[in-house]
Chains A and B, each alone.
Chain A
Amino acid sequence: MIAVTVGQWALWIALAIAVYGMIASILGARQRVPELVQSGRNAVIAVAALAVVSSGCLLYLLLARNFQVDYVYQHVSTYLSVPYVISAFYAGQEGSLLLWLLFLAVAGAIAVSHRRDWNEDLLPYVGAVVSGVAAFFLFLLVTFSSPFKLLPANPGQGIGLNPLLENPGMIYHPPTLFIGYAVYTIPFAYAIAALATGRVGSGWVRGIRLWSLFAWLFLGIGILLGAQWAYVELGWGGYWAWDPVENSSLIPWLVGTAFLHSVMVQERRGMFKRWNVLLATLTFALCVFATFVTRSGLIESVHAFQRSPLGYYFLAFLFIVLAVTVALGIWRRQELASKREMESFLSREFSLLVTVLGMVGIGLAVLLGTLYPALAQALSGRDLSVGPAFYSRVFTPLGAAVILIIAICPLLAWGRSSPQRVLRAMLWPGVMAIVFGVALALAGIRPLYAVLGFAACVFVFTSVLVEFGRGWFARKRMTGESYPVAFVRLVNKNHRRYGGYLVHLAIVILAAGVIGSSVYKTSTTISMRPGESMQVQGYSLKYAEYAIQPTEAKQRFAVTLDVSKGNRSLGRLTAEKNFHWNIEQWVTEVAIRPGLVEDLYVILSGLETNGLATLEVQTHPMVTWLWIGGGLLFVGTLWAMWPRSEKKRAAGRAE
């Protein structure tokens, strides 16, 4: 029980220190008392240390399977394997909030310890904001949502994790998302610090570049991991179902994307200062909103775990965040004015403005759709919701527009570019897109909008490749290096640019995957007896064997098929449908044979004792492209974040 006492008290102490840290930092900065500022900085570090202690205690209790702790009783059982016991840390609301706090506090401690001359004035306020946000989460953790609550007696056995959650996705997906959410606190803290000090110039946006890229990356990868999980889990409607919880993680990512792009404009041109402050705050607020949606049950959702009073506190917190930013923004409106003016529609600046508007627009549209049931209820008293039709209608044209902007924007120069040059640069991508589109259409690929979509993807893909090529050949000409050397040095000399291009390629691959998988999905229901063979969608399926057997945890129903296509054997697939005793529930284990062109996806829907099986055989084209795109997104973002070593930078300067 020591762990319970220590874990609980660590939270109380952390709350006191966080509140103190917030006040000390602000006072210290305003009264210019360096000792107080240092004390506030130490407070952030202390909160992080205490969060680590408290999390360690919870983890220990989970691993020790101390069922007298309510949270452990709820989420762990004696027959749960260790990886899932660890994942039970964030299986419930209390642990999730603690994990949020942990990531936030650690990120905050790193941020305030990273002292440079450009951020010396900003850091006290960064510390204050981090302390404030931490105090909010600590308040929830010690009052409504303590993970250390005890049961009157030790029940000896816990309820455990629902088998539906026993998927590797449960281990990777939530923490990845939470890191993204929590780390977005740092850009927000810097935005507030910039407003508070009036130093809204390019210093802060440049300083937080790594933070926002890091958060963006984790959020994006977290979303994709979630999509992957939902894809293999039956009944969650494929990799994306426009479910409020899914949407709420997508919205901050979209707005965060807008933020990444608008930051570039301020760095290069000293414009978009208002946008940057606004987007940093909005992204953070939307991350908090996402946590709130998951945890409040305000909106009907298949994921909404429960209804709790927490929702109101989250709403109040969001209101404070937005109100503080708006008030500070109005106070600093003079400093926020642009230094330079926009010169031409045909410029990097304007196309980035369109990008920002597009991403924020899509984000707000998704937000509107997500909130629609609550809004309709509040405004008209009617219970209405919007279905996937709404999202696909909004997403298709806007997505296409964003894809095309990806092709055009990098071709434009800052300031202004001449139309002839832009047109000339688009020549090859245009030719490739038309050739590809016509070829697809002639090959009988329909519908037309999908062909257009693929052609647009080819257009972007080629234009990014041409961008690589032009830089490459220009460098080769300029320096006379050999082709490989010139390429490596070019890409190595400008991590940001070429990392960004890789991410653009990744987005195009993702887009192609989304088009392919949403347009060409097929589904066939078949019934087979053991030994029979069937042809479905070009695959021949041979019913090899079946199993109906009780085990300790479940009654197992499994059908194994030999799959081949043409003369090529694709191996065995086993689709299962098991009845788990402890939760008295069916759990379907889908069998998937992934492929670059399409995935074969087999669901066992029924198995009789004589072996007669009913199977749902689906093909999901190009889903693998999503995971490939995700991998490239990871590599590209990492490349863009990778610092050039000081030595190289010095050499670059001397060059």
Chain B
Amino acid sequence: MTENKTNVPAQKRRSAKQVKFLAGGAVVVLIIAYLVFSSMQGATAAYLTVKEVKAASPTERLVRVSGTVIGDTIEWDAHNVVLRFELADDTGRLPVVYKGVRPDMLRDGATATAEGKMGPDGTFQATQILLKCPSKYEEKATEQATSR
């Protein structure tokens, strides 16, 4: 095939000329890399345990905390669209307040991740609440499968 036709001097001349385009490509790559890493600053949220969240003083930094929803503590004020509940993990319980529509999957025993800031009154002001997809039965199934 024609691919074998290239001779050595031509190849050398080529690489000298191609440096320009390699540099052009490199500039593009650097711009993208810069964008990515500069965007990283301040856009990260730390996962903390309930204890750590409670210990932290109220700051502007977003944090995330995961735990199990305690069913008895769910207070849903539909009129003002304010949701209150408590999250628990191995280290303690944390009252959470969220202004927004009550997520469907929020119920006793659900695993929830709240993102937000600690308020001055000791409640966690969540800006976002993520709940695991319907997983209760799947998890049970996995346990069964692995223990068998």
Contact = CB atoms under 8 A, between A and B. Distances in A.
Q: Do A and B come from one complex?
A: yes
Interface of A: 70, 74, 92-93, 144, 149, 159, 162, 164-165, 201, 234-235, 237, 270, 300, 302-309, 335, 337-339, 341-342, 345, 350, 353-354, 357-358, 361-362, 364-365, 368, 372-373, 376, 382-387, 389-390, 393-394, 397-398, 525, 527, 583-588, 603, 605-608, 612, 614, 616
A309 B36 CA distance: 32
A616 B101 CA distance: 8
Contacts of B32: 357-358, 361-362, 365, 398
A345 B142 contact: no
Contact of B104 (A300, A339, A365, A587): A587
Interface in B67-123: 76, 78-81, 101-105, 107, 113, 115
Interface in B115-148: 115, 128, 130-135, 137-139, 141-142, 144-146
A394 B1 contact: no
Given A606-B76, A606-B79, A393 B43 contact: yes
B24 A345 contact: yes
22 contacts: A74-B137, A74-B141, A162-B134, A270-B3, A300-B66, A302-B131, A305-B135, A306-B141, A307-B142, A335-B3, A350-B24, A357-B25, A357-B29, A357-B32, A368-B36, A372-B44, A373-B47, A387-B45, A389-B42, A394-B35, A398-B32, A605-B78
B6 A339 contact: yes
A599 B2 CA distance: 58
B39 A384 contact: no
Interface in B1-33: 1-3, 6, 11, 14, 17-18, 20-21, 24-25, 28-29, 32-33
Contact of A304 (B39, B48, B133): B133
Given A341-B17, A345-B24, A306 B142 contact: yes
B28 A201 contact: no
A586 B134 CA distance: 12
A386 B40 contact: yes
B46 interface: yes
B62 interface: yes
A353 B26 CA distance: 11
Contacts of B137: 74, 159
Contacts of A339: 2-3, 6
Nearest to A603: B101
Contacts of B44: 372, 376, 384-387, 390
A605 B66 CA distance: 24
A397 B78 CA distance: 40
B45 A384 contact: yes
Given A306-B139, A368-B36, A394-B35, A342 B101 contact: no
Interface residues of B, number: 59
B2 A614 contact: no
B28 A382 contact: no
Given A353-B25, A394-B35, A614-B78, A235 B18 contact: no
A298 to B, nearest CB: 14
Contacts of B103: 234-235
Contacts of A335: 3
Contact of A605 (B1, B39, B101, B132): B101
A408 to B, nearest CB: 14
A354 B66 CA distance: 41
B43 A390 contact: yes
Contacts of B40: 386, 390
A614 B35 contact: no
A6 B25 CA distance: 55
A361 B25 CA distance: 12
A496 to B, nearest CB: 24
Nearest to A347: B21
Contacts of B45: 384-387
Given A308-B142, A525-B81, A386 B133 contact: no
A644 B7 CA distance: 38
A586 B102 contact: yes
Contacts of A586: 102, 104, 107
B32 to A, nearest CB: 4
A606 B28 CA distance: 51
Contacts of B105: 164, 235, 585
Contacts of A612: 79
Nearest to B49: A383
A144 B142 CA distance: 10
A234 B104 CA distance: 8
6 closest cross-chain pairs (CB), A and B = A606-B78, A383-B47, A390-B43, A361-B32, A162-B134, A393-B39
Of A300, A302, A307, A350, chain B has the most CB atoms within 10 Å of the CB of A302
A325 B142 CA distance: 34
Given A201-B3, A339-B6, A605-B78, A387 B101 contact: no
A585 B76 contact: no
A8 B15 CA distance: 57
B67 to A, nearest CB: 13
Given A398-B32, A525-B81, A165 B101 contact: no
A394 B36 contact: yes
Contact of A385 (B11, B47, B102): B47
Given A305-B133, A335-B3, A354-B25, 7 more contacts: A235-B105, A357-B29, A361-B29, A389-B43, A586-B104, A588-B104, A603-B101
Contacts of B132: 302, 304
A605 B102 contact: yes
Given A368-B36, A397-B35, A384 B47 contact: yes
Contacts of A603: 101
